[in-house]
Structure 1
Amino acid sequence: MKEMVDAREKPHAILVSYPLQGHVNPSVHLAINLASRGFTITFINTHSIHHQITSTSDGEGDIFSQLRQSHGLDIRYATVSDGLPVGFDRSLHHDQFMAALLHVFSAHAEEAIEKIVRHSQPAVSCLIADTYFVWPGKLAEKYGLLYVSFWTEAALIFTLYYHMDLLRLNGHFGCIDTCEDEIKYIPGVESIEPKDLTSFLQEMDTTTVCHQIIFKAFMDVKTADFVLCNTVQELEHETISALQHKIPFFAVGPVFLTGFTRTTVMTSLWAESDCSRWLDSKPQGSVLYVSFGSYAHVAKADLIEIAKGLLLSKVDFIWALRPDIVSSDDQTPLPGGFMEETGDRGMIIPWCCQTEVLAHPAVGGFLTHCGWNSVLESIWFQVPMLCFPLYTDQFTNRKLVINDWKIGINLYDKVRLTSVEVAEKINQLMVGKIGDEVRVSIKNVKSTSEKALAAGGSSEKNIDRFIQELEGIYKHDYKCIDTLAVHAENDE
C-alpha cells in the first residue's frame, strides 16, 4: 500500500484550455506556473488551435517539448477535436463554433480525460478547466477528480455572471423593458452602469448559443472545489472578498511570465512580425500601438474613421491589423491611399508579439479593444490605454480601466465614431494633460501588480494556499481509500 501512496504524492492535473487566443495564453502560463511548483500537468489543446500555433511558428508536435527539455518541467500534451474540421473558419462562423463547443466538444474532452485518468502516472488528482466550459463539474465528479475552474477574466465579470439572477430580478437583464438605473445590489460591487455590463448582459435576446454557454457554465462553476482567477487581489478587493463568502476563489494574476516577453512555448495563432528596428528609430513614448485583439471584429465604417483619425493625429503608430479584422471575406478594409499617406509615420503589420511591443520604450499609448490580457499587459508595461471595446467582457474592462483605476481614457460610447474625435483622443492620451495623469496612475497600478507576484505578495500567497488546500483534500481522500483497501486485504 505504501507504494500506492507514494505514487500519488505529486499532484497531477489535467488542464483544458478554451480554444481562443485570449484563453490559451493564460492557460499555458498557468500550466508552467503549476509545473514549476511540482505539479505534473497534462495540457489539452484542440486540434485547430494546435494547428494554428504550429503552422505559424514552424513547430511540430508538442508545444511544450522545448520547455520540458530546458527546464525539466513535467508538462504533457494532448490534442482533441472541438467538433469541427481543422480548416473550418471559426471567426467567420462564430455561432457554429460556439454551438460545437456547447454540444460536441465535451464528448471529445471526456474521451481524452478518461484515457489520461486510466493510464497516467502519477495518478490524476484534479481537472483544471476554463470556466466557460459547461461540462467540467460533471466529468470531474464522474472520474473522481477535484474540479478547479480557471477564470481568465476580471473578478468583476465573474461576479456579474454569478449573480445573473439578481440582474434579472431587478430588471437589468433578460427583460423587455430593461432598467437603466445604476446597479448597486451586486455583492462586492459598489455600483456599475448598465452600459458597463458585458455585451451579453446588455443584449435583449438571451436565447443565443453564447447565452446558453454562459448560463450552463455558471451553473457548473458553482460545483467547483476551487476557482483560480487571473486578477490581482488588491485591484478588485471588495469584489473578491464578497465572492469568497460563496466559493473558494483565489486571485493569482496576472498569469503571465514576467521575467521576459517571449516564452519558449509558442502560443500565437498568427505569424508575428518583428517591429523592433522600426520602433528603435522612434523617440521614447512617441508611438501609439493599435490592436483590437485576436477574435472580435470591427465594423468597417469604424475602422475607416480610426484609420483617418490616426493620420489626422500626426502621431507615429504601429497597427497590428489582423487580415480578418472586419471579416474573413474582406481582406482590404483600409481606406484607399492610407498606406501611401502614412509613410514612415506608421507601421501596419498582420500580428506581433504584443508584450515585446508594449515593453519597447518608444511605445507611449495603446488604442485597445480592452481584452483582459491586453489590459493586464498594458498595466505591466505602464502603457496607458485609449479604450475601444467591441464585444463580451471588454465594456466592463473599460469601466475598470477608466473609472476604477484611471489608467486610460474612453474613445467613444455607442455613437457615431468620427476621425476628428479619434485624432483628438489620441492626442489627449499621447501629449495632453490627461495622458500625463493616467501615466501617473498606471505607474501605481503596475506597482500593485508587481508586489502581488513578488515573494510574499497576494498572488503568490494565494496560489500557495490553493496548492496546500488542494493537496490536503487529495491526500486525505487517498488516505481514506488506502485505509479501506488495507481493511479489504485483512478481510480476505
Structure 2
Amino acid sequence: MAARRSENPHAIFIPFPLQGHLIPSVLLATKLASKGFTITFVNTESIHHSIAKSLATPDDDIFTKARKAGLDIRYTTVSDGLPVGFDRSLNHDQFMECLLHVSSAHVDELVGNLIKHDPSISCLITDSFHVWPLMISEKYKLVNISFWTEPALILNLYYHLDLLKKNGHYDPLDKCDDIIDYIPGVKSIKPKDTMSYIQATDTDTVSHRIIHKALFGGTKSADFVVCNTIQELEPHTLLSLNQTQPFYAIGPIFPNEFTQELVSTSLWSQQDCSSWLDNKPIKSVLYVSFGSYAHTTKHVLSEIACGLLESGISFVWALRPDIVSSNDTALPLGFEEQVKDQGLIVPWCNQKAVLSHPSIGGFLTHCGWNSVLESIWCEVPMICFPLLTDQFTNRKLVVDDWKIGINLCEGDLVKREEVTNKFKDLMNGEKSQEMRIEIKKTKRTLENALAKGGSSQRNFDQFVDEVKVKIDQMK
C-alpha cells in the first residue's frame, strides 16, 4: 500500500449534485488545495453542462483559473444515471431514485479508473447525503471524509431519529405541540422547527430512504466529518457530535475575497444588478430569492408580489424560471409593468455581489444555509420563508436563537397585508435596528472564527493534520 501514498494527500472530492451543496464543496476543495492537497473534483455531467451553459465563455474545466493561481485541482465528470437534458428539478423523485440506486455504479467505475491511473489517491471526500461513500472507500482503501454542508444541529437531529420516533416526534409525528428536549446537545426545539422530512406524514419517500442510507449506512461510519458551521454558534451540538466521531466545524467556508471566486458554480446565467443598485440609497433595497432548487406556488408568489407593491420598498427579485414550473408565469399579470420604477426582477444573479452592495438593507430568503451565512457576512437582516428540508431549522436559528431575522408570516397562509407589514418592519420598523446590532455581533463571531487562531482555523488545521496521520496509518 505504501506505493499508493504521496507526501501531499490526494483526495477525490464528489459533491452532491445540487447548487446549494456544490458551492461550499468547491470552496472546501480550493481551501484544501491551498493547504497542499491534490484534489480531483468530480461533478455530474448534468451539473457540468449547466455551469458551462451559464458562462459567457464555456470552459471544459471549471478549475482552470484555480490552477493558474497555483492550486493542484484536477477535474472530471461522472454520469448520475440520467440523460443530461432530463429536468431534474421538476422530476425530483426520479432524480433521487437514480442517486439512490444507479449513481454508485458510475462512481465505482470512475474511482477505480482514477486510482488505476494515479495510485497516489488516498482520500475520498463526499457530501454526507451520498449513499455509497462507505462502500467505495472500503473497496479502494481510502480515508473516508464526509462533508456536512448544513448546520450541525440538523445532522444531530437526523442522528437521533430513533429517539424522535420513540417519543412520538417522527414516523409518525403524533406529538406536534410537545417540545423536543431529550436530544443530546439540543436544549429544546419545537416539532415545527425540525426538518420537513421529520415533520412528514409519509416517511417512505425516496428522500427519506436516501437520508437513512446515507447517514446511518455511511456518514456515521466516516473517518472524519467536516461541517460548514461555526463552533461558537452551535457549541452544545458540536460537543455532543464530537463524542461520537471526529467532527470539525470549519465554517463559514468563503473565498478570501468574498465576492471574487476562482470557480464558477452558478447553474444559470447571472444578470449584473450593480448599476441599478448604485442609484439606490444605502440599506433601502430588499433582496428577494428562494434559492436554486425549492419550489413554491403561484398563490404565494402573488401575495409576495402584491405585498412588495403595496409596501413601496425598492427590491431586487431573483426569480428562477422554474420556481413554479418550466412553462408557467409566476407573477400576477401586469406586475412587472407596475413595479418597473420600484423593483428589478431578474432570472438569476450573483447573490454575494447583491448582498454585499451598500444599498441592500434586507433579504427575503428561503433560509438555505448558504444564504443564511452569506447574509450574516454582509450584515443583512432576514425575512424568513422556509420551503423545505433544513430551511425550517435554519429559520429557528436565525429568528429564535440569534435574533437576526423575522418570519414572513406567523401562520400557515401567506397574506399580502402581513407581507407588506413585515417588509416595513424589517427595513424601517422598531425591530430593524435591534436586528442590525445583533447581526453585526454574529458577523464578528464568523470573522473571529476564521481569523488566525480562531476556532474554524484551528479546527481546519487539526483536521488536515489528522487526515495525514490516518493516511500514514493505512499504509
Please say if residues 251 and 459 of structure 1, whose CA atoms lie closer than 8 Å, have aligned partners that are also in contact: yes
Match of residue 247, structure 1, among 245, 248, 266: 245
Per-residue CA deviation, residues 345-368 of structure 1 (Å, 9 max, x unaligned), is 100000000000000000000000
Does residue 150 of structure 2 align to residue 150 of structure 1? Answer: no
C-alpha separation in 1, matches of 2:132 and 2:165: 24
Does residue 406 of structure 2 align to residue 432 of structure 1? Answer: no
Partner of 1:209: 206
Please say if residues 9 and 475 of structure 1, whose CA atoms lie closer than 8 Å, have aligned partners that are also in contact: no
Alignment of 1:348-427 (within 5 A): 348-427=345-424
Match of residue 130, structure 2, among 130, 133, 152: 133
Please say if residues 149 and 228 of structure 1, whose CA atoms lie closer than 8 Å, have aligned partners that are also in contact: yes
C-alpha separation in 2, matches of 1:274 and 1:389: 26
Per-residue CA deviation, residues 250-304 of structure 1 (Å, 9 max, x unaligned), is 0011112142303121110000000000000000000000000000001110110
Please say if residues 155 and 240 of structure 1, whose CA atoms lie closer than 8 Å, have aligned partners that are also in contact: yes
What is the CA distance between 1:176 and its match in structure 2?
A: 6.2
C-alpha separation in 2, matches of 1:42 and 1:413: 46
C-alpha separation in 2, matches of 1:176 and 1:412: 23
Alignment of 1:291-330 (within 5 A): 291-330=289-328
Partner of 2:219: 221
Partner SS state of residue 78, structure 1: strand
Per-residue CA deviation, residues 361-414 of structure 1 (Å, 9 max, x unaligned), is 000000000000000000010000000000110000000000111100011245
- Relative to structure 2, which stretch is displaced further, 99-108 or 172-181? 172-181
Match of residue 287, structure 1, among 285, 288, 293: 285
Does residue 21 of structure 2 align to residue 23 of structure 1? Answer: yes
C-alpha separation in 1, matches of 2:7 and 2:67: 21
Please say if residues 146 and 222 of structure 2, whose CA atoms lie closer than 8 Å, have aligned partners that are also in contact: yes
What is the CA distance between 1:329 and its match in structure 2?
A: 3.1
Partner of 1:105: 103
C-alpha separation in 2, matches of 1:416 and 1:32: 42
Per-residue CA deviation, residues 449-490 of structure 1 (Å, 9 max, x unaligned), is 011111111111101001111101212332xxxxxxxxxxxx
What is the CA distance between 1:429 and its match in structure 2?
A: 0.2
Partner SS state of residue 235, structure 1: coil
Going from structure 1 to structure 2, the CA distance change for 1:304 and 1:438 (only over 3 Å counts) comes to same
What is the CA distance between 1:9 and its match in structure 2?
A: 1.3
Unaligned 5+ runs, structure 2 = none
Partner SS state of residue 234, structure 1: coil
Does residue 65 of structure 2 align to residue 66 of structure 1? Answer: yes
Letter of the 1:379 partner, please give it. I
Letter of the 2:117 partner, please give it. H
- Relative to structure 2, which stretch is displaced further, 410-419 or 106-115? 410-419
Letter of the 1:114 partner, please give it. G
Partner of 1:483: none
Partner of 2:93: 95
C-alpha separation in 1, matches of 2:359 and 2:300: 27
Please say if residues 231 and 238 of structure 2, whose CA atoms lie closer than 8 Å, have aligned partners that are also in contact: yes
Partner of 2:74: 76
Partner of 1:180: 177
Task: Note the aligned Cα RMSD (angstroms).
Answer: 1.3
Partner SS state of residue 125, structure 1: strand
Letter of the 2:48 partner, please give it. H
Alignment of 1:475-490 (within 5 A): 475-478=472-475
What is the CA distance between 1:179 and its match in structure 2?
A: 4.5
Partner SS state of residue 304, structure 2: helix
Partner of 2:443: 446
% same residue: 58
What is the CA distance between 1:336 and its match in structure 2?
A: 1.2
Unaligned 5+ runs, structure 1 = 479-492
Partner of 1:36: 34
Going from structure 1 to structure 2, the CA distance change for 1:414 and 1:208 (only over 3 Å counts) comes to farther
Please say if residues 38 and 72 of structure 2, whose CA atoms lie closer than 8 Å, have aligned partners that are also in contact: yes
C-alpha separation in 2, matches of 1:47 and 1:158: 28
What is the CA distance between 1:180 and its match in structure 2?
A: 2.6
Partner of 2:263: 265
What is the CA distance between 1:33 and its match in structure 2?
A: 0.1
Partner of 2:272: 274
Q: TM (normalized to structure 2)?
A: 0.98
Per-residue CA deviation, residues 22-41 of structure 1 (Å, 9 max, x unaligned), is 00000000000000000000
Please say if residues 91 and 328 of structure 1, whose CA atoms lie closer than 8 Å, have aligned partners that are also in contact: no
Per-residue CA deviation, residues 410-451 of structure 1 (Å, 9 max, x unaligned), is 112452211110000000000011111111000000000011
Please say if residues 148 and 224 of structure 1, whose CA atoms lie closer than 8 Å, have aligned partners that are also in contact: yes
Letter of the 1:390 partner, please give it. L
C-alpha separation in 2, matches of 1:156 and 1:470: 24
Does residue 465 of structure 2 align to residue 468 of structure 1? Answer: yes
Per-residue CA deviation, residues 83-117 of structure 1 (Å, 9 max, x unaligned), is 10000001111100111111111111111111112
C-alpha separation in 2, matches of 1:336 and 1:176: 40
User: When the two structures are aligned, how many residues end up with a matched partner?
Assistant: 473
What is the CA distance between 1:66 and its match in structure 2?
A: 1.8
More helix by share: 1
C-alpha separation in 1, matches of 2:188 and 2:116: 48
Moved over 4 A (4+): none
C-alpha separation in 2, matches of 1:232 and 1:11: 25
Partner of 1:13: 11
